[in-house]
């Protein structure tokens, strides 16, 4: 029996997605497609100032406008998004007395439709008295020009860590270098904007909330807590979600206002963000500075890293977690990456400013830390005059060192660090690259290659998304023998209806198309953490395996009893149970299920009626590390500063694969986002604190012509967890920016250029070449 | 308040008589008045391509057109591709085979852009496909599998087209 369970049929196969037909034919329902008669729509009046006192709000004209049903200010809906154990301040869902970033919601208009609501929003007059905005991280640390929140220090998170022996080792090394790495604000830009709809159910008195979220149970809990309602009075349903990337893991002010308005008006109410609102108010990410000093030896061995990490958390901690803390605290612990760097010292300052709150964007800390870590290695290589690949080999953690405790105390489970790099270098033809590069330079072509070896902590018991460390599955074999399983996950395009079905089908012995996966409805799904932090595969998938196995054991017991055989002799597969070696002595799972539900007298003593159970899975290890190597080859046009990505290779190790097609999709998508992170995407504030990139004409996303054809290869170092699965949703975006900007540095080596910022623009490159 | 006026829209071969305000966008009217929700809105700034429909066979952004302007033209939305048959078209099938969609939000726009491309140019190479898609943003897939799907329908092997 165990042997057969270990012979997976669907796990590891390139199974086509069951989600696709509805999405391909335009039948899928996203949030804005939720529509019921009488549904009202909301528009928000938002702050035009980064910092100002509110001297008065005049809503008379708006209230009188035809079609307007309600005009709501903080006094009406006095809810504050405040995680009191972690932060000293919280964000009022509608500004209270003061605005602290451009785009902050101040007044909500509820009207017959969005057009009417927007017209009425223009009729609201808010009297502001502008204040000097806090915009610079260094100045904010020194409480300059002032405090963002009168009663709280601008520094809302501080931490220092030093490896024992650092103080002696650092000065003793032969060489030292310094660099300041800077990342500019970026954001997820899900193609489907955020949105929420709420419908009171007059019959039951409960509230149904449609939410475009990654974490259905979390948002239900948040709403219950913030509005003071019992949790079971709220049902959260997550429709199709058009991308999340961490950004939809938060509970936002608008969510609360919409639900509150529906409750007050006893009417269905909906709000969907437009793109300008999205760029202004979806959580931002990647606003970090790393001041780094490195100690190393003649041969390129890195002895110690000292890093002062700063992150601008924006005006308020995003609810319920600040991205600034997520970006810095984990970065400080995984900064040595795949290298055996023995000593580290990190100091973290997270500060408030008059900018949009910082939250999660795919990879959170990872793209920043990899960019710093791989930037360090390349600088050391250049300083000692050795090949960047060679310096990586010298520093790489060896296979015999696992489990490896890094300088910050993080324990890595086994991975294929060196192997992934060698494979990737082989695929891109690194051997011959340097000769080609020299030849091309003679012709005035500046080609470079960038290497990024990354580690990706996945399946964390507690992720920055604040989710629980386990996942749950409710599984039922229906009386017809078909299987239904419900999860608390919140997929946003990852294909869980397919991957979870694959895992369960193998265990229960049915075909994958006989399994229906439910998710995103808190009335049907068992409590779960949701999707984020690359946890759905290893933890959700682990729960699917456990639930499937427990169901399998039930079926085997029942079949053994009915077929009069020993349990060890029962095999399951293809919708059948049979006695090993005697295929004639068989029953279909449908027959078993019929008996389990209807002819219950035939069930063996002690076995429960029916075929339903709930299983939970929490991995024993608090984290499992995926790893891999990205190598990028680029051309830099030194006249225009334009970068073209020519070749791209990814060697990825996320343990056992559930579905390689889906894994590759995640990789390609993450690399494209990495191209955006490295060269295109930037949320820019001017010196007055206005966000100047409020359309997709200013905030540039990678298009099909910006992305090269990529090559991937999988390596498999199983985790110790269920199924040997590791997470992999973020690794591609963790690895990519570093590979890309290092390739630019390599191309521009004759000019002494070392890229120290994300993104690096054509303008930056031109200036460096001129300098 | 603007007053409403009647328009006749021909969508997927059917005629719809709807009352619209002159300022209503074609995308909004297709979605909310006609009820064809397969046309998605990602920016209303004419950049993302999620709202792409075919107007007289050419891909256009329905967020940049007022509904009143579309009168008298043939409009095709994603719902029109299958022409009321239950089966996926070869292009849709290729999208599924190649995992060319993740969240699926960009997918209707991608399908319509690709349909128009294949109509005018049945055997485009990878370069041409990427150019044609360059007005359609996909945030999830990195485009590679979308390109592969279109190449399959173009009857071109990946190798031959590179
Ligand atoms: S919604 Fe029309 S182009 Fe984005
Ligand atoms: S599949 Fe999500 S935007 Fe394209």
CATH of the domain at B28: 3.10.20.30
Residue A294: inside a domain: no
> Residue A567: which residues within 8 A CB-CB, separation 6 or more?
A1, A556, A557, A560
Q: What is the dihedral of CA A683, A686, A689, A695, to 10 degrees?
A: -40
CA distance A366 to A727: 14
CA–CA min distance B36, chain A (Å): 8
Question: For position A4, what pLDDT does the model report?
Answer: 47
- How many CB pairs below 8 Å do chains A and B form together? 174
Contacts 24+ apart (CB under 8 A), B59-63: B59/B112, B59/B113, B59/B116, B59/B135, B62/B25, B62/B26, B62/B27, B62/B30, B63/B25, B63/B26, B63/B27
- Same domain (yes/no): B58, B124: no
Ligand that lies nearest to the alpha carbon of residue B106, given by its number in the listed order: 2
Residue A79 lies inside a defined structural domain of this protein: yes
Within this chain, do residues A116 and A204 fall inside the same structural domain, yes or no?
A: yes
A441 and A502 in a common domain = no
Contacts of B151 in chain A (CB under 8 A): none
Distance CA A593, CA A598 (A): 8
Contact residues, chain B, for A29 at CB < 8 Å: 37
Other Cβ atoms closer than 10 A to A201: 11
Yes or no, beta carbons of B142 and A192 under 8 Å apart: no
Residue partners of A424: CB distance under 8 A and separation at least 6: A451, A628, A629, A630, A631, A649, A650, A651, A713
Degrees to nearest 5, angle at CA A399 with A395 and A401: 75
Q: What is the model's pLDDT at position A531?
A: 83
- Are A553 and A642 part of one and the same domain? no
Q: Give residues (CB < 6 A) around ligand 1.
A: B 41-44, 46-51, 61, 63
Strand pairing report for A40-46 and A269-272: parallel
- Please indicate whether residue B138, judged by its CB atom, sits closer than 6 Å to ligand 2: yes
Q: Are residues B66 and B115 in the same domain?
A: no
Q: Is B136 in the pocket of ligand 2 (CB under 6 A)?
A: no
Q: Is A35 on the interface with B (CB under 8 A)?
A: yes
From the list B50, B146, B157, B155, the residue with the least C-alpha distance to B99 is B146
Give me the residues of A, 327-356, that contact B with CB < 8 A. none
Interface check for A135 against chain B (CB to CB < 8 A): the answer is no
- Name residue A18's beta-bridge partners: none
Taking CA atoms, what residue in A is nearest to B102?
A493
Q: Which atom of ligand 2 is nearest to the CA of B110?
A: 4
Interface contact flag, B143 A704, Cβ < 8 Å: yes
Task: Give dist(CA A437, CA A321) in Å, integer.
Answer: 46
Burial, B66: exposed, middle or buried (Cβ in 10 Å; 0-12, 13-18, 19+)? middle
A493 touches chain B (CB under 8 A): yes
Together in a domain, A701 and A683: yes
Q: What is the pLDDT of residue A535?
A: 85
Distance A759 CA to ligand 1 centre (A): 25
Same domain, A412 and A492: no
Q: How far is the CA of A171 from the centre of ligand 2 (A)?
A: 50
Q: Are residues B13 and B75 in the same domain?
A: yes
pLDDT score recorded for residue A497: 96
Closest residue of chain A to B126, computed from CA coordinates = A709
Q: Are A757 and A393 in contact (CB under 8 A)?
A: no
Ligand 2 centroid, distance to B101 Cα (angstroms) = 6
CA pair distance A255, A223, nearest whole angstrom: 8
State the Cα–Cα distance between residues A464 and A453, nearest whole angstrom.
Answer: 23
pLDDT at B162: 38
- 3-state DSSP assignment of residue A599: coil
Please give the residue of chain A at the shortest CA–CA distance from B24: A115
CATH number of the CATH domain containing A241: 3.90.1170.50
A327 part of a folded domain: no
B96–A24 CB contact, under 8 Å: yes
Partner-chain contact B104 A705, CB within 8 Å: no
A673, B139: Cβ pair inside 8 Å? yes
Kindly state the helix (H) or strand (E) to which residue B161 belongs, with its residue range.
helix B158-161
Decide if B38 contacts A25 (C-beta within 8 A).
yes
Residue A744 shares a structural domain with residue A657: yes
CB A577 within 8 A of CB A556: yes
User: Is there an atom of ligand 2 within 6 Å of A90 CB?
Assistant: no
pLDDT (tens place) for every residue of chain B, 162 residues total: 568 999 999 999 999 999 999 999 999 999 999 999 999 999 999 999 999 999 999 999 999 999 999 999 999 999 999 987 889 999 999 999 999 999 999 999 999 999 999 999 999 999 999 999 999 999 999 999 999 999 999 995 444 443
Does A19 touch chain B if contact means CB atoms closer than 8 Å? yes
B116 three-state secondary structure: helix
A108 sits in which H/E element: strand A105-111
**A651 and A505, same domain (yes or no):** no
Option in A17, A26, A667 nearest B37 (CB): A26
Question: Which CATH number covers residue A20?
Answer: 3.30.365.10
Last residue of a domain, one of A582, A617, A652: A617
CB-nearest to A24 from B36, B107, B142 is B107
Domain interval for residue B38: 5-80
- Report pLDDT for A298: 98
The two structure tokens encoding residue A615: 């299983």
- Residues B96, B62 share a domain: no
Structural domain range at position A264: 34-131+188-281
Yes or no: say if A93 and A105 are a contact pair by the CB < 8 Å rule: yes
Of B17, B51, B80, the position where a domain reaches its end is B80
Q: Does A28 touch chain B (CB under 8 A)?
A: yes
Secondary structure element (H or E) that encloses residue A554, with its range: helix A541-563
Considering every ligand atom, which ligand is closest to the CA of A192?
Answer: 2
DSSP single-letter state for residue B152: H
Residues from chain A contacting residue B160 (CB–CB below 8 Å): none
What does DSSP say about strands A710-715 and A643-653: parallel, antiparallel, or unpaired?
parallel
Residue B106 lies in a domain: yes
Query: Is the separation of the CB atoms in A332 and A148 below 8 Å?
Result: no
ipTM value: 0.96
Tell me, yes or no, whether A692 and A586 share the same domain. no
Q: Answer whether B88 sits within 8 Å of A241, measured CB to CB.
A: no
Note whether A30 contacts B40, CB cutoff 8 Å.
yes
- Give how many domains chain A has, as a whole number: 3
The residue among A730, A734, A723 whose CA lies nearest residue A678 is A734
- Nearest Cβ partner of B88 from A24, A191, A696? A24
Q: Answer for the pair A710, A418: CB distance below 8 angstroms, yes or no.
A: no
CA of B105 to the centre of ligand 1 (A): 12
What pLDDT does residue A490 have?
87
The domain boundary residue, chosen from B38, B55, B80: B80
SS3 category, B114: helix
Ligand 2 binding pocket includes A191 (Cβ within 6 Å): yes
Where are the alpha helices (H) located in A613-730, listed in sequence order? 660-675
**Lookup: tokens for A111:** 């009207």
Q: Which ligand is nearest to the CA of B42?
A: 1
Contact check, Cβ <8 Å, B24/A115: yes
Of B115, B119, B123, the C-alpha closest to B82 is: B115
> Are B60 and B104 within one domain?
no
Query: What residues of chain B lie within 8 A of the CB of A664, using their CB?
Result: 99, 145
CA of A534 to the centre of ligand 2 (A): 18
pLDDT block averages, 10 residues each, chain A of length 771: 57 97 97 96 98 98 98 98 93 98 98 96 98 98 97 97 98 98 98 98 94 94 96 96 95 98 98 98 98 98 98 96 94 97 98 97 96 98 98 98 97 97 98 97 98 93 65 96 94 94 96 95 90 85 96 97 97 95 94 96 94 94 94 97 98 97 98 98 98 97 98 97 94 97 98 97 95 84
Shortest-distance ligand to the CA of residue B44: 1
């Amino acid at each position: 029996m165990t042997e057969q369970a270990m012979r997976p049929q669907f796990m590891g196969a390139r199974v086509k997605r069951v989600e696709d037909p509805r999405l391909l034919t335009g039948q899928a329902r996203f949030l804005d497609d939720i529509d019921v008669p009488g549904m009202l729509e909301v528009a928000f009046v938002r702050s035009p100032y980064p910092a100002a006192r509110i001297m008065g709000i005049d809503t008379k004209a708006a209230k009188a406008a035809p079609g307007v049903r309600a005009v709501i200010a903080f006094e009406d809906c006095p809810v504050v998004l405040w995680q009191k154990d972690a932060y000293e301040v919280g964000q009022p869902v509608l500004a209270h007395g003061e605005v602290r970033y451009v785009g902050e919601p101040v007044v909500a208009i509820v009207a017959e439709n969005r057009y009417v609501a927007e017209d009425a929003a223009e009729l609201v007059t808010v009297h502001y008295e502008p204040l000097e905005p806090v915009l610079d991280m260094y100045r904010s640390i020194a409480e300059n020009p002032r405090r963002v929140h009168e009663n709280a220090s601008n520094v809302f998170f501080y931490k220092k860590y030093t490896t024992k022996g650092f103080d002696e080792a650092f000065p003793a090394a032969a060489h030292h270098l310094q660099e300041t790495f800077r990342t500019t604000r970026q954001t997820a830009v899900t193609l489907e904007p955020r949105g929420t709809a709420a419908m009171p159910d007059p019959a039951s008195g409960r509230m149904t909330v449609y939410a475009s979220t990654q974490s259905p149970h979390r948002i239900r809990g948040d709403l219950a807590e913030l509005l003071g309602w019992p949790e079971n009075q709220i049902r959260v349903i997550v429709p199709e979600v058009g991308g999340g990337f961490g950004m939809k893991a938060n509970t936002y002010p608008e969510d609360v206002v919409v639900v509150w308005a529906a409750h007050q008006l006893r009417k269905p109410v909906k709000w969907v963000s437009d793109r300008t609102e999205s760029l202004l108010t979806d959580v931002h990410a990647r606003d970090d500075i790393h001041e780094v000093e490195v100690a190393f030896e003649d041969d390129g061995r890195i002895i110690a890293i000292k890093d002062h990490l700063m992150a601008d958390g924006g005006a308020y901690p995003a609810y319920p977690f600040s991205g600034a803390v997520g970006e810095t605290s984990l970065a400080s612990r995984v900064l040595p990456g795949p290298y055996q760097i023995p000593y580290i010292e990190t100091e973290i300052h997270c500060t408030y400013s008059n900018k949009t709150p910082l939250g999660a964007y795919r990879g959170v800390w990872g793209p920043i830390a990899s960019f710093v870590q791989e930037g360090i290695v390349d600088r050391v290589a250049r300083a000692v005059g050795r090949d960047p690949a060679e310096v990586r080999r010298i520093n790489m953690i060896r296979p015999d060192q696992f489990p490896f405790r890094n300088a910050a105390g993080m324990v890595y489970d086994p991975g294929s660090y060196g192997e992934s790099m060698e494979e990737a270098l082989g695929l891109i033809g690194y051997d011959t690259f340097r000769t080609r590069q020299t030849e091309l330079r003679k012709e005035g072509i500046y080609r470079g290659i960038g290497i990024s070896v990354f580690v990706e902590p996945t399946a964390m018991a507690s992720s920055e998304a604040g989710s629980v460390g386990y996942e749950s599955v409710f599984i039922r074999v229906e009386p017809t023998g078909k299987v239904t399983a419900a999860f608390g996950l919140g997929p946003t395009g990852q294909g869980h209806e397919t991957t979870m079905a694959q895992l369960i089908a193998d265990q229960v012995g049915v075909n994958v198309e006989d399994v229906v996966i439910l998710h995103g409805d808190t009335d049907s799904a068992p409590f779960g953490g949701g999707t984020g932090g690359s946890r759905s595969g290893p933890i959700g998938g682990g729960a699917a395996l456990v639930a499937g196995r427990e169901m399998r054991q039930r079926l085997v017991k029942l079949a053994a009893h009915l077929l009069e055989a020993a349990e060890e002799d029962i095999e399951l597969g293809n919708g059948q149970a049979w006695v090993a070696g005697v295929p004639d002595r068989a029953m279909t799972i449908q027959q078993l299920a019929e008996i389990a539900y209807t002819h219950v007298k035939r069930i063996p003593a002690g076995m429960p009626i029916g075929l339903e159970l709930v299983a939970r899975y929490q991995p024993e290890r608090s984290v499992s590390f995926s790893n891999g190597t990205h190598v990028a080859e680029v051309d830099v046009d030194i006249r225009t500063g334009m970068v073209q990505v020519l070749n791209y290779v990814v060697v990825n190790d996320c343990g056992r694969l559930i579905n390689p097609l889906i894994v590759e999709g995640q990789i390609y998508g993450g690399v494209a986002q990495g191209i955006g992170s490295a060269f295109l995407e930037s949320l820019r504030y001017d010196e007055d604190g206005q966000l100047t990139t409020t359309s997709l004409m200013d905030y540039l996303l990678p298009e099909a012509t910006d992305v090269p054809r990529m090559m991937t290869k999988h390596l498999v170092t199983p985790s110790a967890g269920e199924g040997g699965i590791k997470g992999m949703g973020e690794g591609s975006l963790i690895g990519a920016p570093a590979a890309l900007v290092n390739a630019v540095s390599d191309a521009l080596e004759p000019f002494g250029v070392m890229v120290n910022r994300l993104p690096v623009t054509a303008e930056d490159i031109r200036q460096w070449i001129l300098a | 308040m603007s007053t409403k006026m009647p328009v006749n829209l021909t969508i997927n071969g059917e005629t719809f008589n709807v009352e619209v305000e002159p300022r209503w966008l074609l995308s909004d009217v297709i979605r909310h008045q006609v009820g064809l929700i397969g046309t998605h809105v990602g920016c209303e700034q004419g950049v993302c391509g999620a709202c792409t429909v075919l107007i007289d066979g050419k891909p256009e952004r329905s967020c940049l057109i007022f509904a009143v302007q579309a009168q008298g033209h043939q409009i095709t939305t994603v719902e029109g591709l299958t022409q009321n048959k239950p089966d996926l078209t070869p292009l849709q099938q290729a999208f599924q085979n190649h995992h060319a969609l993740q969240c699926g939000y960009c997918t209707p726009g991608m399908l319509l852009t690709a349909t128009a491309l294949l109509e005018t140019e049945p055997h485009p190479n990878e370069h041409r496909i990427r150019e044609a898609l360059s007005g359609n943003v996909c945030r999830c897939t990195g485009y590679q599998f979308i390109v592969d799907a279109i190449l399959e329908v173009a009857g071109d092997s990946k190798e031959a087209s590179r």
